[in-house]
Amino acid sequence: MGRVRDALMDVLGDVKVFRFPMWIVYDPGSYKVKGRDARAVIDRVRPGDVLVRGYDAYLDGKLIPGLFSHVGLYLGRTTPADRDLAPAGARDRLALGEQIVIHAIAEGVLTEDVLDFCRCDRLVVLRFPARLRQRAEAPADDPRALVEEERLVRDRLVGGGEVPFEEAWPVVRQVALAQLGRPYDFDLDFTDLERLSCTELVHRATRSLAPFLGVQPELHRILGLSGVGILPDAFVRAPLELVYASPSVPAERLAALRPAPPPETPEQSVAAA
């Protein structure tokens, strides 16, 4: 009898009861990204990094194609002065702290501590290079949707110039904070900038860097519907440095997503020899 009782108590310890709607879930696994993984993220992440995460059990993760289902942008430290960059009616969406992420969820565009963002089953941290240049295969995007500061960055890249990321980042950060409070785009309509999904938010914030980044909406089947959008996996395929991957990310699937290294130039071959 004691063994039966012990087994029952072990099962009950993994049962979750949700008040509304009344629902009971048996979840013995919890999240695969553990405390030690979150500490590794904290040690490595820098402002401007793109964080991409995925889940094993959430329904939307099953319906979104790919290895990952959500993306956010790491802001780093936020202060009361940043409230001036947010829309007047959304300043309560700005979390103040040392390590803050901005992303779009069902409740809209908001910010939260990176530790909260790390509550998932798999996570990668991606970083822009220190110096950005236009890539031949990357579309430059439509400049009409950009504010003046963004257009200046974009035009430098399109004109063949080089832009240090530390110069571009304040522009990207300002645009990201200006999206706080926007409702979630359940229609996944990339022509409507008043409503933003998670990938739309990061795409909108980084549009000035499109000549380098090259992440653009494509035809996909998302949440069971065909439409034009960006999958979170697209940011993993982009030419960003892989700074960190949680041990729970399947190595082979991640490697298949990552961009191929650029071919060696004759000068590099000679130097290696």
* CA distances from residue 125 to 8, 48, 202, 230 in whole angstroms, order as listed: 40, 10, 14, 18
* CA distances from residue 185 to 24, 118, 194 in whole angstroms, order as listed: 29, 23, 8
User: What pLDDT was estimated at residue 15?
Assistant: 46
pLDDT band of 30, cuts 50, 70, 90: confident
CATH of 31-259, one of 3.90.1720.10, 3.30.530.20, 3.40.50.1000, 3.40.50.2300: 3.90.1720.10
Only one residue has tokens 């914030």, namely: 205
What φ, ψ does residue 37 adopt, rounded to 5°? -70, -40
pLDDT tens sequence across 137-186: 888 777 778 999 999 999 999 999 999 999 999 999 999 999 999 999 88
* CA distances from residue 213 to 23, 69, 234, 237 in whole angstroms, order as listed: 42, 19, 10, 10
* Poorest-pLDDT segment among 36-50, 154-168, 216-230: 216-230
pLDDT band of 229, cuts 50, 70, 90: confident
pLDDT tens sequence across 66-80: 999 999 999 999 999
- What is the rounded distance in angstroms from the CA atom of residue 165 to the CA atom of residue 233? 22
Evaluate if residue 10 carries a pLDDT over 60.
Answer: no
Evaluate if residue 25 carries a pLDDT over 70.
Answer: no
Q: Which residue has the higher pLDDT, 246 or 28?
A: 246
- What is the rounded distance in angstroms from the CA atom of residue 110 to the CA atom of residue 78? 13
- What residues does 26 pair with on adjacent strands? 15
The beta strands (E) that lie in 97-195 are given as 97-105, 108-113, 122-127, 131-132, 163-164
What φ, ψ does residue 228 adopt, rounded to 5°? -90, 125
Q: Which residue has the higher pLDDT, 57 or 124?
A: 124
Contacts (Cβ under 8 Å, ≥6 apart) of 147: 175
